[in-house]
Structure formats: C-alpha cells, structure tokens
Structure 1
C-alpha cells in the first residue's frame, strides 16, 4: 500500500487549467480509491499498479487536447499499512493537541 500525491496540468493551455484539472480529479474520484484534492495536489491511496493506472488515465485526460502535460508525482510506500491518507494527519493533529 502507498499514498501518492500528484499534480497534473496542461502546458501551453493559457492561464486557467481548471477544466483539465477537474477532468483529472473526476477520474480519480471515479476510481473508488481513497483520495482527497487540495489546492496543489491530489492524493490517492492504494496498491502501486491500481494507483498508477489512475494517474496514467488522469494524465492522458489532461493531455487529450494535444497540449504538453506536466506531471509531479510523490509516493509514500509503506507495505502493510492502510488508511494512512487520513491516519498520518490524525497522528499529527493528536500530537499538536497534546502540546
């Protein structure tokens, strides 16, 4: 299991990339895998192959208009652990609450 954070956007598509990014997020959400989107990244949790398939499809959707695509990908690979998409944040919040 792993958590992947990725950002995908078309290059040369003008200043607003909202429509392309929304299509990528739509694909992630339809995957059924745990995910969340922030202002800079979309995070998705799952097995390597299933997440890479989703990232690939999201990237292809962003590039469907023939634009060049920028993809940033980061992974936290931790076999045997699930629920870390929220678990990691919860542990930090608990620590902050104790201080």
Structure 2
C-alpha cells in the first residue's frame, strides 16, 4: 500500500510560530523507518505493508502531538495487494504519455 499523509500542529506557542520543526520530526520518523518514502511540499508518501505503514503514520503523528495539544492529520491510501514499488511504477506509467 501507499499512504500519502500530512501531519501538522494546529496549536502553536505563538500565532507566528513555525510549524516546520514539528513537521521535520515527523518526516525524520518516516525516513528512519526504512520504508520507501518521498516528501514534497504538501505530503509525505510511505510504501509498505498495512501494519508497518500505519505504525509510521501513528508515530509521526504522536511526535507532532508532543509539541501541540491538537494535531491535523490528512491521509490518503492506495491499497493494492501484491504490488510493490508503486511509488515509482505509477510515475513511470504516467511519463509514458509524454
């Protein structure tokens, strides 16, 4: 499965506080998981089996919760049994049309 998720604090110490430090901690957890992943300006993608991917999302969310009493989590999943490396395969399939 592939999960695209975004996690961020919704409450910060001051109205102008940066959220990037909390988000960076979440991304660190994803990168250290050993699962295939990519981060862009809006989402982080993680690929693997259900339990391992959802565990990474849970740990990343809890890391953000360490600095904020309220957390926003947006999650989209592509669940397709028997397929691997779909983060790259989907892009290769798309690029064939250009």
TM tier relative to shorter chain = over 0.9
With normalisation by structure 2, the TM-score equals: 0.93
Is 1:85 aligned with 2:84? no
Match for residue 62 of structure 2?
60
Structure 2: gaps (5+ residues): none
Match for residue 10 of structure 1?
9
What CA distance in whole angstroms lies between the structure 1 residues aligned with 2:11 and 2:43?
A: 20
The answer to which structure has the higher strand fraction is 1
Deviations 1:31-56 (A, max 9, x none): 00000000000000000000000000
What CA distance in whole angstroms lies between the structure 2 residues aligned with 1:45 and 1:95?
A: 24
The answer to which structure has the higher helix fraction is 1
With normalisation by structure 1, the TM-score equals: 0.92
- SS of the counterpart of 1:27? helix
Structure 1: gaps (5+ residues): none
Match for residue 76 of structure 2?
74
What is the root-mean-square deviation of aligned Cα atoms in Å?
1.0
Number of residues paired by the alignment?
Answer: 95
State the 4+ residue runs in structure 1 displaced beyond 3 angstroms: none
